[in-house]
Amino acid sequence: MLNGTIKISSVSCNKEEDFVEITLLDNNSRLEVITIKMSFEQFSLASIGNRQVKCDYEINQSNKIGKIKESKFIYIDYPISNSYASIDKQKEEVSEIVKQYEYDGWKGSIDSAFNTRQMGGKFKILMERYV
Segment 77-100, tens digit of pLDDT: 876 566 666 778 878 888 888 899
- Residue 63: its pLDDT value, please? 79
> Which range marks the domain in which residue 15 is found?
4-64
Residues 79 and 57 in one domain: no
Residues 8 and 59 in one domain: yes
71, 128 Cβ separation under 8 angstroms? yes
What does DSSP say about strands 69-77 and 56-59: parallel, antiparallel, or unpaired? unpaired
Segment 59-78, tens digit of pLDDT: 887 778 788 889 999 888 87
User: What mean pLDDT comes out for the span 52-62?
Assistant: 85
* Bridge partner list, 119: 122
Residues 12 and 58 in one domain: yes
77, 121 Cβ separation under 8 angstroms? yes
Please, which pLDDT band fits residue 47 given cuts at 50, 70 and 90? confident
For residue 53, give the 3-state DSSP assignment. coil
Q: Which residues of 31-54 are buried (b: 16+ CB within 10 A; e: fewer)?
A: bbbbebbbeeebbeebeeeeeeee
User: What mean pLDDT comes out for the span 40-50?
Assistant: 87
Residues 86 and 33 in one domain: no
72, 87 Cβ separation under 8 angstroms? no
Residues 31 and 45 in one domain: yes
- Residue 4: its pLDDT value, please? 92
Residues 85 and 34 in one domain: no
* Structural domain total, the chain: 2
List all residues 6 or more positions away from 82 whose beta carbon is below 8 Å from its beta carbon.
Answer: 89, 90, 93
Segment 27-44, tens digit of pLDDT: 888 888 899 999 999 998
Residues 59 and 88 in one domain: no
